[in-house]
Chains A and B, each alone.
Chain A
Amino acid sequence: MSEEKSTWRKWALFGAGAVALSAIPVWLGLSHAVKGVALPIALFIWFVVYLAYVFFGTARLKAGQIGPVMKRYRRRLAVALMSYCLVLMGSIWLLHRMDLSGPLLWIVAAAPAIPILGVLVVMGLYLKEEPDEFERAVHVEAMIWGLGVVLAVTTVWGFLSNANVVPAPPLFLVFPLFCLSWGLSQPFIRRRYQ
Chain B
Amino acid sequence: MKNRLKVLRAERDWSQADLAERLEVSRQTVNALETGKYDPSLPLAFKIARLFGQPIEAIFQDEA
- B10 CB–A CB distance under 8 Å: no
Task: Spell out B's residues near A (CB within 8 Å).
Answer: 24-29, 31-33, 35, 37-38, 40-41, 44
A133 to B32, CA, bound (A): 11
Contacts of B41 in A (CB 8 A): 133
CB-based contact A192/B37 at 8 Å: yes
CB-based contact B44/A135 at 8 Å: no
Q: Which residue on chain B has the smallest CB distance to residue A192?
A: B37
CB-based contact A134/B35 at 8 Å: no
Known contacts A133-B41, A133-B44, A137-B38; A190 and B28 CB within 8 A of each other: yes
Contacts of A132 in B (CB 8 A): 24-26, 29
**Chain A window 126-137, contacts with chain B (Cβ cutoff 8 Å), 1 for yes, 0 for no:** 000001111101
CB-based contact B26/A67 at 8 Å: yes
Residues 55 to 96 of chain A near chain B (Cβ within 8 Å) = 65, 67
A134 to B33, CA, bound (A): 9
Q: How many residues of A contact B (CB 8 A)?
A: 12
Q: Which residue on chain A has the smallest CB distance to residue B27?
A: A65
A28 to B33, CA, bound (A): 49
Contacts of A190 in B (CB 8 A): 28
Q: Smallest Cβ distance from B15 to chain A, in angstroms?
A: 13
CB-based contact B27/A134 at 8 Å: no
CB-based contact A135/B26 at 8 Å: yes
Q: Smallest Cβ distance from B39 to chain A, in angstroms?
A: 10
- A101 CB–B CB distance under 8 Å: no
CB-based contact B32/A194 at 8 Å: yes
The 8 Å CB contact of A193, one of B24, B25, B27, B31, is B31
CB-based contact A134/B37 at 8 Å: no
CB-based contact B29/A135 at 8 Å: yes
Contacts of B37 in A (CB 8 A): 192-194
CB-based contact A134/B28 at 8 Å: yes
